[in-house]
Amino acid sequence: MKRAAALLFLFCASLLLSSPLEAKEIRLRFANFPAAATFPCIAMERWAAEVHKRTAGAVRVETFPGGTLLDAKNMVRGVTQGQADIGCISLAYHPGAYPFLSVFELPLGFASSEAISAVMWDIHAAHRPKETSKVKVISLFGSAPAQIMSTKPVRSAADLKGLKLRAAGTLADIAAGFGALPESMPQSDTPEALQKGLVQGVFSSFDVLQDYNFAESCRYGLVVDMPVYPFMVFMNMKTWESLPADVQKVVMDLAREHSVWTGKYVDQHGKDATAWSTRTYNFSLAELSAEEKAALRQTVSPVIEAWKERSESKGVKAGALLEDVLRAKAEAEKE
């Protein structure tokens, strides 16, 4: 009997010894709305690979691009209700929901996504606004500055008047500000709108020329260097709290670095996509002079006052926030 008990004990011990540290694999479901080739999804795949690597395989991230798990409209509700552990949104699709973070939709003259993505992370980390308190923010980045892509020749600010443009959020107000006719819709609805002639162009960053093949219909482009579209990647709070401390550390150590990585990627990819469009579809690109860009920004500056009123009515110290952002911008653009 004693012998049997000893053998049973040794067997159990060997079992325990062989795998006590191999904790059960953590599986995270990451939902995203645009097509897999687009920069928000390229960033998602990079984040998944980095987390898997940096946790020595303890965490496996399943990615769901193209709205295959949650689309743009249902992303926030779906993640907070646990249909996915992680989600990505373009803040411009949620007017009024982010009175603090929508400061990054304003015409503040950021020249690159790399710079604004660093500033977005630092300002959010410093202020920790109420609007994101129910989720865990794990990355913040911008698209590259928005430009004009058009089915009609556009070479000057005057050519923008009366142009039916796809846009979203404050960028739609800005398009109206320079006399265009904005049609607000998620990026994923734009291909159909172009095909049906509902819009004559797109007001977004140039990466979509290639990633959504918009260059096939939009053979003309105008560099206006208007604001970026800000994005937020966030985790369900229960999922976050369920993660072991060492995994939480990996995620937060990655956060700012990955936000800037995404900015660098989309800045370069926009340039590559423009070159690809010229090679593939003889895409014709014009650019406003620095003076014309400044004049256009002045024309649309009333959106800043309108934002201040809206955000102050929701408890945001808008003036102080704007000063902080412009100070951080000057620092970031020095780097």
Express the helix, strand and coil content of the chain in percent, nearest 5 each: 55, 20, 30
Of the two residues 39 and 283, which places its CB atom closer to ligand DTR in the complex? 39
Taking the complex as a whole, the smallest distance from the CB of residue 208 to ligand DTR amounts, in Å, to 5
Provide, rounded to whole angstroms, the least separation between the CB of residue 205 and ligand DTR.
Answer: 5
Taken in order 302, 231, 87, 168, the sign of the CA dihedral is: positive
Residue closer to ligand DTR, measured from CB, 177 or 227: 227
Return the structure tokens found at 332.
Answer: 């970031």
Nearer to ligand DTR, 110 or 240 (CB): 110
Pick the closer one to ligand DTR by CB: 92 or 285: 92
Q: Could you tell me the smallest distance in angstroms from the CB atom of residue 92 to ligand DTR?
A: 6
Compute the least distance from the CB of residue 184 to ligand DTR, in Å. Answer: 10
User: Cα torsion for 76, 110, 128, 331, to the nearest 10°?
Assistant: 160
C-alpha count within 13 angstroms, C-beta hemisphere, residue 200? 13
Pairing of strands 181-184, 164-167: parallel
CB of 34: closest distance to ligand DTR in angstroms? Answer: 4
Nearer to ligand DTR, 118 or 144 (CB): 144
Min dist CB 257 to ligand DTR, Å, is 21
Closest to ligand DTR by CB, 43 or 251: 43
CA dist., res. 145 & res. 179, Å (int): 19
CB 170 within 8 A of CB 303: yes
**Cα torsion for 125, 131, 117, 148, to the nearest 10°?**
-170
Identity at 2, one-letter amino acid code: K
Q: Give whichever of 38 and 259 is closer to ligand DTR, judged by the CB atom.
A: 38
Q: Are 53 and 70 in contact (CB under 8 A)?
A: no
Return the SS3 of 285: strand
* Contact positions vs ligand DTR (CB under 6 A): 34, 38-40, 90, 92, 143, 168, 187, 204-205, 207-208, 229
Question: Residues, the chain, total?
Answer: 335
Q: Which two tokens stand for residue 12?
A: 């159990």
Q: Tell me the closest approach of the beta carbon of residue 308 to ligand DTR, in angstroms.
A: 23
- 153: which 2 tokens? 């020749």
CA dist., res. 212 & res. 192, Å (int): 11
CB of residue 168 vs ligand DTR: minimum separation in angstroms? 5
Which one, 120 or 243, has the nearer CB to ligand DTR? 120
Element (DSSP H or E) covering residue 254: helix 245-281
